[in-house]
Amino acid sequence: VAFLDPDHELQVLREDLAWPPSLDSTGDLGTLRGLDNLEAGVIGRAATVRGEIVHRREYGVDDGGEGQNGPTFPETLALAQARLLEQFTRESRIESVSVAVERDPDVDGDIIATLRATATTGQPIGIAIPMGA
C-alpha cells in the first residue's frame, strides 16, 4: 500500500461515534476514524435488518425469513451471499468487494460472512462477520 496521508484517509473514510459507546482520554465520547470507521460501518450494515432505520428503507440486509431457524442449505447460503454483496456494493467508500459465506462450524444454523474489499483509499479490508442464518 502506498503511503497514505492520514488527513486524506479521514476526509474520505471519515469519523463516527464508536459503538458500543466508549469514552476517550478526555472523557468525551469515543470515535472511530478512517479505516476502522469503514470496517465498523460495514459490520453495521450487515447487522441491520432492512427497514430498521426509518428513513433508509434500502439500508441493511433483507432477512426474508427463508433461512429462519432452518438448516444452512446451499441455496440459503447463496441467498445470504447475494444480499450481503448487494449491500456492500452500495457502500460508496468501497472500491471493490467480494463476499464468501459458509456455515459456522461452532454454532448450528449460523453463518460466517467473510468480506474482502478495497477501500477507495486503496487500503485492503478483510473481516469475518458471524451472523444468524
Partner 1 sequence: VPTPIQYAQDFLAGVRGRLSPEAAARVDFSEGSKWDALAGGLARVMTRLEQVEAEAYDAHILERAVGSEVDAYCEAHGPVRRLSANKAKGAIAFHRPSAVAGGGYVPSGAEVRVPCNGSSVLFVAAADTPIAATATYVSVPAAAAMAGKASSVGRVAAGLSLTGQPGPLFDATLLPTSIDASGGVDIESDAELKARQRAYEQGKRGGTIESIRFAALSTPGVKHVVLASRYGVGSGGEGVAYVGDANWYADESLCADVARSLESWRAFGPSVNVRKMLLSKVASSATISLARSLVNYDQARLRALVVQKALDYFATRVDPYAWSATMLGARMSHADDEIVSVDVSCTVGGVASSGATSPLTIDGLVAAGGFPALLTVYSTDASLVSVQFEGS
Is 132 one of the binding residues for partner 1 (CB under 8 A)? no
Is 19 one of the binding residues for partner 1 (CB under 8 A)? yes
Q: How far is the CB of 80 from partner 1 (least distance, A)?
A: 16
| CA triple 115-13-81, angle to 5 deg | 20
Q: How far is the CB of 129 from partner 1 (least distance, A)?
A: 14
The x, y and z cell numbers of residue 117, run together, are 474489499
* Candidate residues 3, 54, 74, 106; the one interacting with partner 1 per rule CB under 8 A: 54
Is 10 one of the binding residues for partner 1 (CB under 8 A)? yes
Residues near 120 by Cβ (< 8 Å), separated by ≥ 6? 12, 92, 93, 94, 95
Q: What are the beta bridge partners of residue 103?
A: 111
Report how far residue 108's alpha carbon sits from residue 130's, in angstroms, rounded to the nearest whole number. 12
Is 17 one of the binding residues for partner 1 (CB under 8 A)? yes
Q: How far is the CB of 45 from partner 1 (least distance, A)?
A: 5
Q: How far is the CB of 69 from partner 1 (least distance, A)?
A: 6
Alpha helices (H) along 48-73? none
Residue 68: half-sphere exposure toward Cβ, Cα within 13 Å: 5
The x, y and z cell numbers of residue 110, run together, are 449460523
Residues that bind partner 1 (CB under 8 A): 10-11, 14-17, 19, 37, 41, 44-45, 48, 52-56, 59-60, 68-71, 73, 92-93, 108
